[in-house]
Every structure is written in C-alpha cells, then in structure tokens.
C-alpha cells in the first residue's frame, strides 16, 4: 500500500484549447492536512474533480489512496468528498436525508452513521430540521457530515 494519499504526476487537463491544469505534480502523504490555494481560474476545482474521479486527466497519471480514481468503484470507502457547489435537497429533514445518503453508500448502519456525522460537525440538534430552513453555514456543515459518513481515510473539500 502506498504511503501517499494523493499522487499527481505531470497531470494536465484540457477542455478543447483551454488548459485548466498544466503539468501539475504533487505528492501528499497519508495523514496530512493539505491546502491547494490559488486565484480564481487556477484549476483547483478541476484538480479536485480529477482526484474524485469526476474528470479524467488529458495527460499524466493520478493516484488517490493508491488507486486510479476514474476506475469505477475504486474509491468506495476510501474517499469522502464535498464539491464546492453541493446543495441539499429541499423538502427533507436533515437526519432523513443523511440516512438516505448513507443507505445509497451501502453503509451498514445508515442512521447511526448519519447521527455520528452530524455530531462531528456540531449539528446533532438539527436532526429534524428541514434542509431549506438551515443557514448557509449549517447547510455546509450538513454537507460536510455527508462527506464524513463511513469514516473515509481521505476527505476532499472544495471551498
């Protein structure tokens, strides 16, 4: 097993003539907190999307937790992710929605996972709150709870 959580080697991503990520190489050891910063348009979200397996690199190689992220199912149980534009579906209670997501993820004890994740983000009292009634910050924390369910060894947060 690789000691690296994330490894990019000369990764480039093009969208037609537009180069969004240009020959990026980096190695992040397991157990580290790492921030990828840069100005708007620098390619941070594109890099995040490739690390999550949402996008394929145009060239270069990429490994996350020792696997190629674009291989179907390769990151299951290894990665929790919170995209920058994640939104909560209206018309659900927070606990009900997280439990539903835990079931979709195949977690053995969905309600327990949802409750523990809400506790981790300081929102245990929001279990019965309608998602549309949450403040912006509470909604972000609820989305973070979803990324933490199942206790993945790696969590990627985009903004």
Cα–Cα–Cα angle for 148, 139, 43, rounded to 5 degrees: 70
| pTM for the whole structure | 0.89
Q: With 90 as the cut, is the pLDDT of residue 15 above it?
A: yes
Using CA atoms, how far residue 153 sits from 84, 95, 135, in Å, is 20, 23, 28
Sign of CA pseudo-dihedral 75, 3, 9, 44? positive
Summarised one tens digit per residue, pLDDT across range 78-136 is 999 999 999 999 999 999 999 999 999 999 999 999 999 999 999 999 999 999 999 99
Q: How confident is the model at residue 1 (pLDDT cuts 50, 70, 90)?
A: low
Q: How confident is the model at residue 159 (pLDDT cuts 50, 70, 90)?
A: confident
Summarised one tens digit per residue, pLDDT across range 38-94 is 999 999 999 999 999 999 999 999 999 999 999 999 999 999 999 999 999 999 999
| Rounded Cα gap, residues 6 and 120, in angstroms | 24
Report how far apart the first and last C-alpha atoms of the chain are (Å, whole number): 29
Q: Give backbone dihedrals phi and psi of 142, rounded to 5 degrees, phi first.
A: -65, -40
Q: With 80 as the cut, is the pLDDT of residue 8 above it?
A: yes
């Amino acid at each position: 097993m690789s000691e690296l959580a994330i490894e990019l080697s000369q990764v480039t991503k093009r969208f037609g003539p537009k180069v969004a990520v240009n020959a990026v190489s980096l190695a992040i050891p397991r157990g580290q907190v790492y921030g990828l910063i840069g100005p708007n348009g620098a390619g941070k979200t594109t890099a995040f999307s490739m690390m999550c397996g949402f996008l394929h690199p145009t060239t270069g190689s990429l490994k996350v937790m020792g696997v190629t992220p674009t291989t179907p199912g390769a990151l299951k149980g290894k990665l929790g992710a919170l995209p920058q534009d994640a939104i909560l579906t209206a018309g659900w209670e927070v606990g009900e929605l997280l439990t539903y997501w835990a079931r979709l993820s195949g977690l053995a004890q969905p309600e327990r996972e949802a409750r523990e994740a809400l506790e981790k983000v300081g929102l245990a009292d929001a279990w019965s709150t309608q998602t549309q009634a949450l403040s912006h910050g509470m909604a972000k924390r609820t989305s973070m709870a979803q990324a933490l369910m199942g206790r993945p060894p790696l969590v990627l947060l985009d903004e």
